[in-house]
A and B are shown apart, each in its own frame.
Chain A
Amino acid sequence: MTDPHAGLAAWVWLVLALPLAGFLVNGALVFVRPRANGLVTLVGVGTVAAAFGVAVAVATAVGPAHEPLVFRYWDWITAGALRVDFALQVDHLSAVMLLVVTGVGALIHVFSVGYMGADPGYARYFAYLNLFVFFMLVLVLGASFPVMFVGWEGVGLCSYLLIGFWFNERINADAGKKAFIVNRIGDTGFLVAMFLLFRTTGSLDFGDVLARAPATFTAGAPLITAITLLLFLGCTGKSAQIPLFTWLPDAMQGPTPVSALIHAATMVTAGVYLVARCSVLFALAPVASAVVAGVGALTALFAATIALKQWDIKRVLAYSTISQLGYMFVGVGTGAYAAGIFHLVTHAFFKALLFLGSGSVIHAMHHALHATHRHGDAQDMRTMGGLRRCMPWTAGLMWIATLAIAGVPPLSGFFSKDEILTAAFARGTSEPLWYLWWGLGLAAAALTAFYMTRLMLYTFHGPNRTGEGADAHLHEAPWVMTGPLLALGVLAVAGGALNVPPLLGGGAWLHHWLEPVTAAAAAHLPGVHVSRGTEWALVVLAVALAGAGILAAQRLLRPTELLPARAAAPETGFGRVLWRKWYVDELYDALIVRPVQWISSRVLWRLVDARLVDGLLVNGTAAASRALGWLGSRLQTGQLGMYVAVFVIGVLALLSALAR
């Protein structure tokens, strides 16, 4: 059922088909010709780049449309009243996601060519990466909750596969499992929310559910609050928010481009996308919205504090990602859906740049450590230092991304972060609770500036701590790696232009672009406005805090006095608490993992399975039949007289019964 007015958007199936074909071809090459790197590159990068081209065409076709364009392909599930088609939906929101996923995805694919070039699992890597892009596109293009859920689970699978890509080391395999299991907890919420939505609205298509929601649910009623909170539970898993954030730092065990694509730019933003997609539902549930914004604000601050004391360059960025995702949830929880999506887009640019930059650094460190026969940690900032002299491009571009994430104008992060904070403050004028969320976000902004400057200072400035003779081996990555960095650098600088607020003389283009999607929700939200003066004050405050964070890091930190990891004194006091990540992993281990393991091994295995099921039921049934058989066999004596006696007794008993 193709809409004749869809035009180029009708090609949307091709966006999905290309990465899927890439996966199939590369997956076949894994078995047939695993060393054919040229062919793998052509297929892996080519399909995603082509998908980006088609995505641009689709997005241009969406622009003038007012209604979502839905393309139904085939009946997928039909059971009773439930009817789910495999259908794709292209609207303004999914168009934005489409461009981010394929655009940033294509750049990261190019980077991977350099980063993974020497890896024996090259073909497998690109097969997984293409499969991820496919599932991510299913996620953002699905026209119903179940189709989206397929993508949702699919990206989780690819995340698992890629975190444990180097599965020979146990720690990597464990990290993959952790990510998968923690995500399952959130998915339970998503599933239950789907069941409730089907029960109440009678449909699972986004169009139907969102259209029927205002008539079905009383605003603020417990039912809609429960549904949205369960949906948000799914988001906390996928988007690494409190309480399910612990998997994301461990996910850094995967290859760095994977961290950039899956665990920074695209997959982890799926939760933000889900909230924006269900904006009408969340607008009808003020309590749930407050929880979304609150959890986001708390996570933003909490993760930022942990990032202050991490030494692994990728872990800093991982906590930074968690923190920035928190901002996005503040945005979408506040009802500023466009602001949340805007931050999603800009974050995809600068965080992908930061991760790829760190990948470039790790690449160089790895070579240097290898060439000088050292066994240092290639990701520990204490063994880095002074790298700007060796890799000026990476250093410069990462500084741009750092300033962008810190919120320094006129870089992209400034506009998006500022818009979220302003929206939270404005909501505070009617609901004071939001002042608290705004305050937390502001504090997190200052910390963001601090820890990012710390990362840059320790990595690129001061003396080099890699060791004797390493200088000669530290050099800039090849162009296939710095090229994507450069492109992302341009986007990180200019991305803010997408949505310059009217306050600064812009047209808020992205805001208007997303209006067809967010308008329905906006009708249910209180209209809040703050004066121009207040807005200016907020902007100045945010920029001042970012500047303060950068300056404080510059003043307080002494890269010249930093000792290599092997010589460093252990952290003490509060710093130790932050370094150990607030002991959250230990807490979960003691409260959940160990009790579950204890119950599993002692009760479920030793008692229920071994004793009850195996012992009583399985072996018990066998023993009982054997005993009955033994009893029966005792009757068969083989003595004819015995049989006749029984027969006669039987006949006599029968006769006496009949005669009565």
Chain B
Amino acid sequence: MLLGPALAVSALLFTIGVVGVLFRRNAIVVFMCVELMLNAANLTFVALAQRLGVAGHVFVFFVMAVAAAEAAVGLAIILAIFRHRETVDLGNINLLKG
């Protein structure tokens, strides 16, 4: 029931997330795009659970729990970066340059 459209929506969401991570320079937006990708994965789990059993539902709760933790840590890091450098533009944060 509505498996095809559900997977199509999740694929679209995931692609939007990836493209956002790739091309946006604001750390908050990149962070939101990561969340978008996680939720795309969640949608896939739920859609496939009706066919493959309840394990998909269980996984969604795990992902939500981990995503909540990640959001807390990630936002804290971004906040720390902002305090330190007064910007969250990823183009300016290139300390790993060799």
Contacts and interface: CB of A to CB of B under 8 A. Distances in A.
B21 A639 contact: no
Nearest to B95: A638
A637 to B, nearest CB: 6
B97 A641 contact: no
B18 A641 contact: no
B90 A639 contact: yes
A633 B97 CA distance: 8
Interface of A is mostly: helix
Interface string B7-28: 0000000000010011101000
Interface string B83-98: 0000000110111111
Contacts of B91: 639
Interface residues of A, number: 13
Nearest to B25: A641
B40 to A, nearest CB: 14
A430 to B, nearest CB: 89
Interface in A626-660: 632-641, 644-645, 648
B98 A640 contact: no
Contacts of A636: 96-98
Interface in A604-645: 632-641, 644-645
A645 B19 CA distance: 9
Nearest to B90: A640
A648 B93 contact: no
Nearest to A636: B98
Given A639-B90, A639-B91, A644 B22 contact: yes
B94 A637 contact: yes
A648 B33 CA distance: 14
Contacts of A633: 98
Contacts of B30: 640
Contacts of A637: 94, 97-98
A480 B91 CA distance: 98
Nearest to A652: B18
B21 A638 contact: no
A634 B97 CA distance: 8
Contacts of B94: 637-639
Contact of B22 (A632, A638, A648): A648
A632 B18 CA distance: 26
Contact of B98 (A635, A644, A645, A648): A635
Nearest to A632: B98
Contacts of B25: 641
B34 to A, nearest CB: 10
B48 to A, nearest CB: 17
Nearest to A629: B98
Contact of A641 (B23, B96, B98): B23
B80 to A, nearest CB: 16
A648 B37 CA distance: 13
A632 B98 CA distance: 8
A645 B90 CA distance: 14
B71 to A, nearest CB: 18
A349 B40 CA distance: 111
A656 to B, nearest CB: 16
Interface string A57-92: 000000000000000000000000000000000000
B22 A641 contact: yes
Contacts of A641: 21-23, 25, 90
Contacts of B22: 641, 644-645, 648
Interface centre among A638, A644, A648 (most CB of B within 10 A): A638
A636 B97 CA distance: 5
14 contacts: A632-B98, A633-B98, A636-B96, A636-B98, A637-B97, A638-B93, A638-B94, A638-B97, A639-B91, A640-B93, A641-B22, A641-B23, A641-B25, A644-B21
Given A633-B98, A638-B94, A639-B94, 11 more contacts: A634-B98, A636-B96, A638-B97, A638-B98, A640-B30, A641-B21, A641-B22, A644-B21, A644-B22, A645-B22, A648-B22
